[in-house]
Amino acid sequence: MNRTMINAALIVLCAVGSSPARAAGEWKAGAGTVVITPEQDMWMSGYASRKAPSSGKIHDLHAKAIVFEDASGAKSAIVTTDLIGMTKALSDETARLVNEKFGIPRERLMVTASHTHCGPALGGNLEVMFDLDAEQARRVSEYTEALPGKMAEAVARAVADLGEATLEWTQSEAGFAVNRRQYTLGGVVLGVNPIGPVDRSVPMIVARRADGSVKAVLFGYACHNTTLDFQQFCGDYAGFAQAHIEGASPGTTALFVSGCGGDANPNPRRTLDLARQHGNELGGAVARAMREPGRGLDGPIRGQFREVALALSAPPSREKLEAQLADPDVYIQRRAKRLLAEWDAKGALADSKPYPVQVWQFGEGLHLIALGGEVVVDYALRLKHEFGAEKTFVIGYANDVMAYIPSLRVLREGGYEPDISNIYYGLYAPWAPTIEETIIGTVHELAGR
Ligand SMILES: [Zn+2]
């Protein structure tokens, strides 16, 4: 490309970037919020090291929904939650309820988690991490069973709130995410890696009323929601960011989704003040960006959803699993017990896991890509390279959080995300090296490319 061509391309890009929001009438949008703070103290998720259940709350945890209705009348819903993760069972049941009540099909529903480590333990998620007594197990099970109804209620409130809106897409930045895969002579350890890749963009979809006020904003950040590790329920930085936006812009519902932050942590961390500070930085970045018109989004939304079989590396022998029942690591013992029970029940261990990939295209203007699991940053970088960073919004922790999702690079490097974490998620082995091509290839297929 010569200089004239570059200048011409820049002029075209600037023209696209500053195009005004579309006229009202094409979209309706609505938002709804339901409190999901446990009504009693219970075991918290995220850290194996906790020795006691929760002790009160800093602020409420929420399930929220945003619903978009395009000119054809088709509705699409995104549920966000202040929770550690999501399970296939929870998102499938929520999808069933939402389809039954509102005719929103599975491919048009995204169910996501903020990955707060100060939320309740969930049935079916990270179960190897906990050794619950009967009372705690009952509380976790009751809480989990009630969740689909609450998430569907958030969608119901958003549907009831539908009104004419314009949709805009824009991005900002926040600086507190740092790559946490620290390279040492002894291997990759969890720490701080200032030269590691990170995605500090803050993508957002803004739903604006006819008077210009913001009805709802869906925003993302690619960073573990792990400033805090204490005993009170709290949405961590993502909870504070949502509260900051809603406080600064009364009448706005702020919904957080996690990006591909599987290998990023907030830095620094571990105090309530820092969680609030990171939340204010992120919320402030969103609130500032909302004041300017973004790029108008056209409909329709073309929604695609597929579960692919994501292959695991070779399973252990039965003898190896039986030997692990006496492993000095209690978590390896627990995993072995569960895997042997699965072996007995099904006659073999599954050689893959179902993995959800979802792609929504807003006209020609935006690819909203939602991936399951704790996705590392390489996926966002690659998808933005291949689809264009100016029109790509990548969400992780979506629909099912069954494990970490390493890239091929991270899988080869080893460390917590591709190896050690599999113990807590109950995987018998790391993912197969085909993981990255399987996922990226599926995104391209769903996007029709
Ligand atoms: Zn995590």
Å from CA of 346 to ligand 1 middle: 29
Q: Are residues 283 and 331 in the same domain?
A: no
Report residue 14's pLDDT band, with 50, 70 and 90 as the boundaries. very low
Q: Are residues 274 and 345 in the same domain?
A: no
Say whether pLDDT at 17 is over 80: no
pLDDT digits (tens, 9 = 90+) for 45-62: 999 999 999 999 999 999
Å from CA of 343 to ligand 1 middle: 27
Q: Are residues 217 and 331 in the same domain?
A: no
In the predicted model, what is the mean pLDDT of residues 401-405?
98
Residues of the chain above pLDDT 90, percent: 94
Report residue 25's pLDDT band, with 50, 70 and 90 as the boundaries. low
Per-chain residues with Cβ under 5 A from ion ligand 1: 374
- The confidence score (pLDDT) of residue 5 equals 44
Query: Is 10 a domain residue?
Result: no
Query: Is 195 a domain residue?
Result: yes
Q: Are residues 201 and 246 in the same domain?
A: yes
Residue 309: strand pairing partners: 354
Query: Is 400 a domain residue?
Result: yes
325: containing domain: 316-350
Query: Is 135 a domain residue?
Result: yes
Q: Are residues 381 and 340 in the same domain?
A: no
Say whether pLDDT at 291 is over 50: yes
In the predicted model, what is the mean pLDDT of residues 23-33?
86
In the predicted model, what is the mean pLDDT of residues 299-312?
97
Query: Is 149 a domain residue?
Result: yes
Kindly report the average pLDDT of the chain as a whole number.
Answer: 95
Helix, strand, coil content of the chain in percent (nearest 5): 35, 25, 35
In the predicted model, what is the mean pLDDT of residues 269-290?
98
DSSP 128: G
Å from CA of 264 to ligand 1 middle: 9
In the predicted model, what is the mean pLDDT of residues 397-415?
98
Q: Are residues 334 and 214 in the same domain?
A: no
Say whether pLDDT at 2 is over 50: no
Å from CA of 90 to ligand 1 middle: 19
pLDDT digits (tens, 9 = 90+) for 89-135: 999 999 999 999 999 999 999 999 999 999 999 999 999 999 999 99
Rounded distance between C-alpha atoms, residue 165 and residue 415, angstroms: 46
In the predicted model, what is the mean pLDDT of residues 219-223?
98
Q: Are residues 281 and 383 in the same domain?
A: yes
Q: Are residues 127 and 39 in the same domain?
A: yes
Among 158, 162, 170, residue whose Cα is nearest residue 70: 162
Q: Are residues 73 and 51 in the same domain?
A: yes
Å from CA of 374 to ligand 1 middle: 6
Å from CA of 115 to ligand 1 middle: 7
State the CB neighbour count (10 A cutoff) for residue 356: 26
Query: Is 4 a domain residue?
Result: no
- The confidence score (pLDDT) of residue 10 equals 41
Query: Is 20 a domain residue?
Result: no
Q: Are residues 178 and 325 in the same domain?
A: no
Å from CA of 7 to ligand 1 middle: 43
Relative to beta strand 392-395, strand 366-371 is: parallel
The number of folded domains in the chain is 2
Query: In this structure, what are the phi and psi dihedrals at residue 307, rounded to the nearest 5 degrees?
Result: -100, 120
Rounded distance between C-alpha atoms, residue 320 and residue 343, angstroms: 13
Å from CA of 427 to ligand 1 middle: 15
Q: Are residues 338 and 214 in the same domain?
A: no
In the predicted model, what is the mean pLDDT of residues 332-341?
98
In the predicted model, what is the mean pLDDT of residues 203-210?
97
In the predicted model, what is the mean pLDDT of residues 225-248?
98
In the predicted model, what is the mean pLDDT of residues 303-318?
98
Query: Is 435 a domain residue?
Result: no
Q: Are residues 135 and 245 in the same domain?
A: yes
Query: In this structure, what are the phi and psi dihedrals at residue 203, rounded to the nearest 5 degrees?
Result: -75, 150
Rounded distance between C-alpha atoms, residue 78 and residue 80, angstroms: 7
